[in-house]
Amino acid sequence: MDDRVMVFAPAPLLTVTIEQQADAVELHLHPGGQGVWQARMIASLGVPVTLCVALGGEVGDALHKLLTEEDVTVRSVFRQSGSGWYVHDRRDGSRAEIAEFAGAPMVRHDIDELYTVALTEGLRAPVSVLSGPADPSVVDPDIYRRLAADLTANDAVVVADLSGDYLTAVVEGGVALLKVSHEELLDDGLAEDDSVESLLAAGRRLQEQGAASVLISRAGEPSLGLLDGHGTVEVHVPRLELADHRGAGDSMTAGIAAVLARGGDLDEAVRTGAAAGALNVTRHGLGTGRAEAVRELVSRVRLAPLDDR
């Protein structure tokens, strides 16, 4: 077992973005989706990544080519239905959605094949990250419960960044660290309001249900960590000018996984994740950043112990 992270990304997306550069209009094609962005940041931090995906149709063919150009190892299985995509227009500096398709639901054979590949690679890696699809109709949440349970039972460290039925499933299976935003806790009815007390109460309930540690991101406010063996903390990051808030949570999850895969402790992992997330908002590329910049920011991240509330 080497210092590697397996990222489970069952339904990546082909992203098509229209941008204005000086007097020219440019079209950019990239692989995207939560798991792809997480894998990209993990690789940027110098940790090898194996990305497990299911691809189908003409879009899937294009995605496969683009993914092989990323600095990751790709394990793909053919899916009978087509992969998802979106088209965004950013010519005026904002992001306007023109059209999107999350992908058709994966059939049982697709899920069985992907599960076997992901389980194999997860057993080979010390840390596995479970990421969600763009739409809950694409993948049955039970694959997350089974994968989390089987990897955890075989001494793998499972990190998850999920919401809705996927969050419920992975917690039931057992997870070393669950990253979730406060908006997701509210949307899922897991927290009564966005007060620190309510969010911590929700985090404790998730721990009781199967998450050893819970990290709750709060947009512009300090994240809240209920960390196994490290108590309850508030995570303070340096203030940086915002370019694009999208992808900050994925970069945070990636930073945590990268440190744990190298054998670092949870304190270092959370500070690195917070630094990676803070850096990502200064850039337009999702899941991007330089390792040297993340390392510089880590020393400026502060974990402040919280009294029991």
Confidence label for 243 from pLDDT (cuts 50, 70 and 90) = very low
Higher-pLDDT residue of 297 and 33 is 33
> How does residue 291 score in pLDDT terms, banded at 50, 70 and 90?
confident
pLDDT, one tens digit per residue, over 23-65 is 899 999 999 999 999 999 999 999 999 999 999 999 999 999 9
Enter the pTM of the model: 0.91
What was the pLDDT predicted at 149? 98
- The residue among 281, 210, 209, 285 whose CA lies nearest residue 252 is 281
Q: What is the pLDDT of residues 55-97, one digit of tens each?
A: 999 999 999 999 999 999 999 999 989 999 999 999 988 889 9
Domain boundaries, the chain: 34-57+76-81+105-305
Among 99, 12, 116, CA closest to 63: 12
Per-position DSSP letters for 208-222, written without gaps between them: HHTEEEEEEEETTEE
Average pLDDT over residues 171-182: 97
Average confidence score pLDDT of the chain: 91
* Calpha distance 6→227 (Å, rounded): 22
Does the pLDDT at position 286 exceed 50? Answer: no
Q: Is residue 241 very low, low, confident or very high in pLDDT (cuts 50, 70, 90)?
A: low
CATH H-level, domain 34-57+76-81+105-305: superfamily:
Ribokinase (3.40.1190.20)
Q: Exposure of 5 by Cβ count < 10 A (0-12 exposed, 13-18 middle, 19+ buried)? A: buried
Checking if the pLDDT of 128 tops 50, the result is yes
Distance, CA of 267 to CA of 154 (rounded, Å): 24
Alpha-carbon gap, residue 8 to 127, rounded angstroms: 11
